[in-house]
Amino acid sequence: MFQSFIQITMKRTYAVLALIAVTLSCLQTLYAQSEIEVGVRFGLAGNALHRFQSVDGGGSSEGRLSMLTGVRLGYGLTERLTLVSGLDYARHNLTMVSAPMPEQHRTDGRITTLSLPLVVEWNVGRWFFIQGGPSIDIQPEKWESVDSQGGIGFSVGVGGRYALGNWSLSLTPTVKQYALIPFNKEKYHQRLMTAGAVLTVGYRF
């Protein structure tokens, strides 16, 4: 069963990567003079689990720290608009608290996610930008205490950028909602939300 899940996950990943590659290739053809940016990014965020519906008498959770690392690929569509994709790996530490009866237990654990974002970035003036867009998130390993966070997520952020020649350094406070549309929806589905900042070092060709 686990091998089957891994195979399905890998197939989804390859399909999405192929779709992104084709899309970006088409955009590069349409916007031949556009700038291309590659970069690496690192992020830290607080996290929390929540449900869209309230549940009485169940357990709860305590958010802890999420850490992210990834690669960024950006295509300049216009002087102000950039289409951003890439691949992110994130690790989310959580504490699950059982219902108070008969005896309350606390369990520490972690969720790992792989994310393929497709974000539109709008440059506001020389130093600042606003960005937002969906992502396809995959959770390679299941933690039985928490519903799967695989699905379509969404993130928004406002950041600042300093450029020195072709190099750039940006800091982006970001909020992300995982499993906005889950791949495998459960009743009263738990959804992970993170809020933090991402530091990106980029190079523009």
When comparing pLDDT for 103 and 173, which is higher? 173
- Whether pLDDT at 176 is above 80: yes
Q: How far apart are CA 68 and CA 65, in angstroms?
A: 10
- Whether pLDDT at 191 is above 60: yes
Name the residue with tokens 């237990």: 105
**The CATH classification of domain 2-204, taken from the options 3.40.50.2000, 2.40.160.40, 2.40.160.20, 3.90.340.10:** 2.40.160.20
**DSSP states along 155-187:** EEEEEEEEEETTEEEEEEEEEEEEEEEESS--T
C-alpha dihedral, 181 to 183 to 188 to 193, nearest 10°: -60
Q: Does pTM surpass 0.85?
A: no
| Amino acid found at 165 | G
pLDDT given for residue 13 in this prediction: 55
The pLDDT-based confidence of 5 (bands split at 50, 70, 90) is: very low
List, for residues 128-164, the tens digit of each pLDDT value. Answer: 999 999 999 999 988 888 989 999 999 999 999 999 9
CB atoms within 10 A of CB 66: 24
Beta strands in 35-80, from DSSP E residues, in sequence order: 36-50, 60-76
Average pLDDT over all residues of the chain: 85
Q: How far apart are CA 167 and CA 149, in angstroms?
A: 34
Beta strands in 118-150, from DSSP E residues, in sequence order: 119-124, 128-138
DSSP state of 32: T
Domain positions in the chain: 2-204
Share of the chain above pLDDT 90, in %: 60
pLDDT given for residue 56 in this prediction: 65
- Whether pLDDT at 2 is above 60: no
**Is 195 within 8 Å of 46 (Cβ atoms)?**
yes
Taking residues 90-106, report their average pLDDT: 82
Taking residues 15-20, report their average pLDDT: 57
- Whether pLDDT at 93 is above 50: yes
pLDDT given for residue 96 in this prediction: 83
Q: How far apart are CA 29 and CA 32, in angstroms?
A: 5
